[in-house]
Amino acid sequence: MAQEAVPRGRAYGAALLTLLAPGLGHWLLGRRGRGVALFAIVSVTFLSGLLFDGALFPLRAENWLFRLGGIAEAGSGLLYLLGRLLGLGALEQARVTGVMFGYGNTFLVTAGLMNMLLMMDAFDIAIGRKS
Amino acid sequence: MIPDHVLSMVVFSVLVALFFATVNHRDRAGFWKSAVKTFGWMALGSVAFAWLMYWTA
């Protein structure tokens, strides 16, 4: 049985654009309202993490738990990159021993994981697996 | 930022509930039902877990 050709290039493009900005893939696929809402939710989660004294872990941290955290946070894409470039959420003694450190990290890691999920969601929408 | 455990838990639960409701629901009724349900379970679960930790400490 012949299978219908699926636009894989468009799907990978949508997923990569989501990495650039949360919700951008959805927006370009015609789900404009959803794209804007998702951008707002992921960005607020990320910014809350920074406000709650979370750290943006480097991808090459010595501590393997910090490294895992960095990989998850990097899912936020451009937000993570900008934060690192601006020196936000640096791993300092005062931050690490702060009472809100764990909470802030949870927000930042969750923002990254949310965006990874959005990449897959945009991919599924583009290939027609999801409406 | 105010170091408030309850505030951070509430903000986190609201954001996660809104995220999954937005991803999974297109109709307004389904969206709010899912968001309120997820928020409720997360908030209730957090309080129950905190009480358990307090009780076993």
Residue A22 CA, chain-centre distance (Å), reads 7
Q: How confident is the prediction along chain A (131 residues), in pLDDT tens digits per residue?
A: 445 566 788 899 999 999 999 999 999 999 999 999 999 999 999 999 999 889 999 998 888 999 999 999 999 999 999 999 999 988 888 777 888 888 999 999 999 999 999 999 999 999 998 88
Whether A51 and B1 lie within 8 Å, measured CB to CB? yes
**How open is the CA angle A67-A75-A81, to the nearest 5 degrees?**
80
In degrees and rounded to multiples of 5, residue B24 shows phi and psi of -100, -15
ipTM: 0.88
A16-29 pLDDT, tens digit per residue, is: 999 999 999 999 99
Contacting residues for B14 by C-beta, under 8 A, at least 6 apart: B39
Distance from CA of A105 to the nearest CA of B (A): 12
Helix (H, G, I), strand (E, B) or coil at B38: helix
Distance from CA of A120 to the nearest CA of B (A): 11
* pTM metric for this prediction: 0.90
Task: Tell me how far apart the alpha carbons of residues A60 and A68 are, in angstroms, rounded to a whole number.
Answer: 9
Q: Which residue has the tokens 């999974």?
A: B24
Select from A90, A127, A107 the least CA-distant residue to A41: A107
In total, the C-beta contacts within 8 angstroms joining chain A to chain B are 41
All residues of chain B having their beta carbon less than 8 Å from the beta carbon of residue A98 are 3
